[in-house]
Structure 1
Amino acid sequence: MSEKVEKIIEELKNISLLEASQLVSRIEETFGVDVSSSRLSVSSVPISGASTKVEEDVTEEKTEFNVIITDVPASKRITVIKVIRTLTSLGLKEAKDLIETLPKPILENVTKERADEVKKLLEEAGAIIAIN
């Protein structure tokens, strides 16, 4: 590479992602090119340097889930009530009241594994379940 190109690369290592984005937009405008259609995208270019500030939206992976009963067929109510009572500390009346006013959460803020386990048990009993 030429010395001029090396100098530009060194300068690029010290700019923020916002500035890099603005630079790409300006290059596109000035030279009439579209870099989004090229093989190399800005996200694949490693940007290093102590002064580089990476500001990106980090999507956190969901770790807590709610198990919600959305429907219980009339013929499966007793079986579902029994399963609800084994999964929770609800009494018979509370469990019965719970399935009469659906949709209702059965368990809240549980792990994905626990939510899937509870969903399976309730669906086997005849309930229709949603996890969110």
Structure 2
Amino acid sequence: MPIVPLPPFEATTSGGGGVVASPHLHDLANEIVRLSLLEVKELVDRVGEHFGIGDDDDDDDFGGGGDDDAVDAAAAAAAVEERTAFDLKLTGFDEKSKIKVIKEIRAVTSLGLKEAKELVEGAPTTVKKAIKKEEAEELKVRLEAAGATVEIV
């Protein structure tokens, strides 16, 4: 998304009577323009909370007609970005490395030989669910070293 420059804060010589503002205010305005939607929403919420306006139940505080769908979409996007639990999915494997992959799956999941073999042969399938990102990345490296194709979802 391109950043649109702010109008000048200094008085213009053309007689238009521009707004005269301190450099600090100009810097603050530039910083606000570069905020993400989620950061803008949080800023608006905090300012509204400070002044006692902006209750969720009362849309008349800002003249009504507010579009809460955009705010909800921004919050949902933020929730997706802040995920803490991931799934490790086996998408395939090198046929020559099948035994190595089965052994590594057994070590990762503590499954029996038969269950690990069925899991590998049933690819694509989820190996582990709801694990931390760091653990998922570590297991991905281990499985790929054994010849598996893995993705974190």
Specify the TM-score bucket, using the shorter chain as the normaliser: 0.5 to 0.7
**Displacement, 1:105?**
0.6
Match of residue 65 from structure 1: 86
CA RMSD of aligned residues (A): 2.4
Q: For residues 146 and 119 of structure 2, what CA distance do their matches in structure 1 show?
A: 16
Larger relative CO (CA 8 A, sep 6+): 1 or 2? 1
Q: Deviations over 1:88-114 (max 9, x none)?
A: 121001111111111011110000001
Instruction: Please identify runs of 4+ aligned residues in structure 1 that moved more than 3 A.
Output: 43-47
Q: For residues 84 and 52 of structure 2, what CA distance do their matches in structure 1 show?
A: 32
Equivalenced residues, count: 96
TM-score for the superposition, normalised by structure 2 = 0.55
Q: Does 1:110 align with 2:139?
A: no
Q: Deviations over 1:3-27 (max 9, x none)?
A: xxxxxxxxxxxxxxxxxxxxxxxxx
Q: Does 1:129 align with 2:126?
A: no
TM-score for the superposition, normalised by structure 1 = 0.64
Q: For residues 51 and 38 of structure 1, what CA distance do their matches in structure 2 show?
A: 29
| Percent identical residues | 36
Q: For residues 87 and 115 of structure 1, what CA distance do their matches in structure 2 show?
A: 11
Q: Does 1:75 align with 2:96?
A: yes
Task: Flag structure 2 segments of 5+ consecutive residues without an equivalent.
Answer: 7-28, 34-39, 57-67
Q: For residues 55 and 91 of structure 2, what CA distance do their matches in structure 1 show?
A: 46
